[in-house]
Amino acid sequence: MKKDEMIKIIADKHKLILDENDPIFAVITANELLFDDFISKIDRYFIKQKADLETYKTNILAELRECAQTTKDSLKDITIQEITTEHKEIIVDKNQLSNSKIFLIVAVQIIFLLVGLIIGISI
């Protein structure tokens, strides 16, 4: 807001006559400087926070992929151990079932991860 507008509003509202050299304008200028500095600090903090969250998300996704691969490998190993020689003709069906189980387990892990992220971000 410009000085002329402020002088007019103050005169209308409070019946005070100010001129452009009134010391009150120094206070207004100081407040503007403090406010601008505060806003720039908040902007820097927001950018840092956003970068930290992005890094956190990347790390979580990498760990999730690793966990999913480990789970998948473990489930395949368990499935292979349970298959006997007389059931070898059913391998294709068990692999499809195994992939469904893996998908279900990974989906549940992703859901829990996302819920945890939402709770962590909102705190």
Q: Determine the 3-state secondary structure of 15 from DSSP.
A: coil
Model pTM greater than 0.75?
no
Q: Determine the 3-state secondary structure of 5 from DSSP.
A: helix
pLDDT of residue 97: 61
In tens, the pLDDT along 56-103 reads 989 988 998 998 898 888 888 877 776 655 566 555 556 666 667 777
* pLDDT higher than threshold 90 for residue 39: yes
Structure tokens at 3: 């000085």
Q: How far apart are CA 36 and CA 76, in angstroms?
A: 59
Among 9-13, 20-24, 29-33, 119-123, the least confident range = 119-123
pLDDT of residue 38: 97
